[in-house]
């Protein structure tokens, strides 16, 4: 479980095809603190398990299904990735509960400064608008954000300068794919209402 508060941006060193899975190597600092084999790390919001680590790098195995359902297929050496260690007992919940299970990838339609903040408009996969709630939570590349507007499968969030500075959003542009995880409570409510409609 995570909270959607990015602790640092790491850098992709390598993402290569192995015999039974893809191999991801990331340069990191904060995420290496107290690291142990088997620990969970959210990489762009996707929960991955540490298979190896050294003084500067984290290593993960990535299933083909995970690569297909996320923006990992766009990874190239030097790409910035958002990193968050899993929530620990007694830790602060600064964002909202995030499972690390990506629901799909959206596409940035607009990302531009407006005043001191940034306006971000994202198109979600077709049919996923039912999970979007105005003033509800959304996780974009592992960042906990608040939905400001919803129109069908498209939604808007506002980004404060600090979030732009400390996450990989500073490298995103219109057309960039982003990992999306919709609010757990919203998904449960939608499931319950769908059940009662049948």
At 59-85, the pLDDT tens digits run 999 999 999 999 999 999 999 999 999
Contact assessment for residue 95 and residue 163, using Cβ atoms and an 8 Å cutoff: no
All CATH 2.40.30.20 domain ranges of the chain, comma separated, are 8-85, 104-197
Distances (CA, A) of 125 to 10, 137, 188: 27, 17, 19
- The residue that leads in pLDDT, 122 or 197, is 122
Beta bridge partners of 181: 139
Q: Which CATH architecture has domain 8-85?
A: Beta Barrel (2.40)
Could you tell me the sign of the dihedral formed by the alpha carbons of 165, 107, 180, 155, in that order? positive
- pLDDT, tens digit, 9 for 90 and up, residues 102-138: 999 999 999 999 999 999 999 999 999 999 999 999 9
Q: Is the pLDDT of residue 92 over 80?
A: no
> At 163, phi and psi to the nearest 5?
-65, -40
Specify the pLDDT at position 183. 83
Distances (CA, A) of 184 to 95, 118, 167: 13, 26, 23
Domain 104-197 belongs to what topology?
Answer: Elongation Factor Tu (Ef-tu); domain 3 (2.40.30)
Specify the pLDDT at position 1. 85
CA distance 107 to 93: 27
Specify the pLDDT at position 177. 98
3-class DSSP string for the chain: CECCCCCEEEEEEEEEECCCCEEEEEECCHHHCCCCCCCEEEECCEEEEEEEECCCEEEEEECHHHHHHCHHHHCCCCCEEEEEECCCCCCCCCCCCECCCCCEEEEEEEEEEECCEEEEEEECCCCHHHHCCCCCEEEECCEEEEEEEEECCEEEEEECHHHHHHCHHHHCCCCCEEEEEECHHHHHHHHHHHHHHC
Confidence of residue 196 (pLDDT cuts 50, 70, 90): low
CA distance 73 to 125: 17
Strands 57-62 and 46-53: antiparallel
Specify the pLDDT at position 154. 98
């Amino acid at each position: 479980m995570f909270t959607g508060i990015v602790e640092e941006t790491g850098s992709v060193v390598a993402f290569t095809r192995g015999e039974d899975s893809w191999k991801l190597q990331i340069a990191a600092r904060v995420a290496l603190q107290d690291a142990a084999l088997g620990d969970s790390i959210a990489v762009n919001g996707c929960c991955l398990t540490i298979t190896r680590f050294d003084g500067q790098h984290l290593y993960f195995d990535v299933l083909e299904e995970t690569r297909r359902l996320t923006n990992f297929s766009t990874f190239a050496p030097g790409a910035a990735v958002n990193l968050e260690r899993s929530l620990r007992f007694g830790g602060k919940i600064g964002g909202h509960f995030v499972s690390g299970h990506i629901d799909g990838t959206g596409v940035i339609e607009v990302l531009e400064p407006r005043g001191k903040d940034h306006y971000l408009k994202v198109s979600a996969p077709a049919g996923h608008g039912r999970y979007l709630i105005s003033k509800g939570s959304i996780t974009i590349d592992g960042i906990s954000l608040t939905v400001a507007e919803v129109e069908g499968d498209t939604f808007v969030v506002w980004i404060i300068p600090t979030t732009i500075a400390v996450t990989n959003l500073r490298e995103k542009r219109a057309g960039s794919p982003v990992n999306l995880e919709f609010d757990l409570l919203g998904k449960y409510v939608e499931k319950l209402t769908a059940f009662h409609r049948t």
